[in-house]
Structure 1
């Protein structure tokens, strides 16, 4: 399969291939994003690369992220069974365990347990902030989690899409995801 090096179909090609090296090579070609460009609602989808988190967030009902400003970021916005959007507190999620034992998240009961726990994890408070940081040689907008050693580092695909690299301390490689600017309900 030939991977296109530009254009809107590039992400579709990468999704079909699920190749970490090709995805990172593409990420490295993309331009930086500024913090000032981030405010708004962003719908998220994973970009498969063989990372332990591939598909997990979607399985649990992840909708995306909400950026209200540099100091007010909601990194984990989920859809409730009633179709509402709610932010959850990442500090209550055992990220280290999920990365060390990804098979636990694939158990049939995992999604049910998360759905039952989601109301306890909900928060109206922001749980991250935005900063400009250097990652893979480029200074770009980065979401820094308050409760975990995690940085989501963004690059621009086009005016309404970003490619994010979730850099987690101790992980072999980043989890990659796409954000598309939108409004709730779209």
Structure 2
């Protein structure tokens, strides 16, 4: 697939699945995002590319991200099983297991258990910060997790949509996702 049309049209197409090259072609074609543009509440979704992380966040109830300020970021806003939302503490997520055994975590029973247990792993404290970093040759707003080797780098689709590349130590390719402003 060649990236043609508007960035919004291309993203809609890629939401249904893409190669990592297609997703990165869109990402690389997008302009940088300034840190203040990221403030607010965002609903998230993924661009499936064959990454081991594909489908896992959604399966465990990921809703999106909340940026209250440059030093006050909630990176994993989850849907609460009894309604509403909560912020999951990323430090309590078994990241090495997610990367090493993603297929085992795709079982429905595991997802149900994780959704029910998730609120016990919640936090009211911010667990990430927003900074400008350079990634793939462009300086753009980046969410830096406090306790994990993860940087989510953002590029602007439009005023209310960004594409993110989750750069995680140990993954060969970034996990690709998008956020839409609520």
The verdict on a shared fold, with TM-score over 0.5 as the criterion, is: yes
Q: Distance in 2 between matches of 1:23 and 1:119?
A: 32
The question of 1:78 aligning with 2:73 is answered no
Contact 1:4–1:13 under 8 Å retained in 2 = no
Q: Structure 2: any 5+ residue segments left out of the alignment? A: none
User: 1:76-155 maps to which residues of 2 (within 5 A)?
Assistant: 76-155=76-155
Q: TM-score, normalised by structure 2?
A: 0.95
* Bigger mean CA offset, 88-97 vs 99-108: 99-108
Structure 1 runs, 4 residues or longer, greater than 3 Å off: none
Measured after TM superposition, the shift of residue 119 of structure 1 is 2.1
Q: TM-score, normalised by structure 1?
A: 0.93
Measured after TM superposition, the shift of residue 105 of structure 1 is 1.1
How many residues are paired up? 182
Q: Distance in 2 between matches of 1:88 and 1:81?
A: 13
1:167–1:60: structure 2 CA closer, same or farther, 3 Å change rule?
Answer: same
Is the partner of 1:102 in helix, strand or coil? coil
Measured after TM superposition, the shift of residue 108 of structure 1 is 2.2
Measured after TM superposition, the shift of residue 4 of structure 1 is 2.4
RMSD over aligned CA atoms reads 1.3
Q: Distance in 2 between matches of 1:2 and 1:156?
A: 19
* Bigger mean CA offset, 110-119 vs 125-134: 110-119
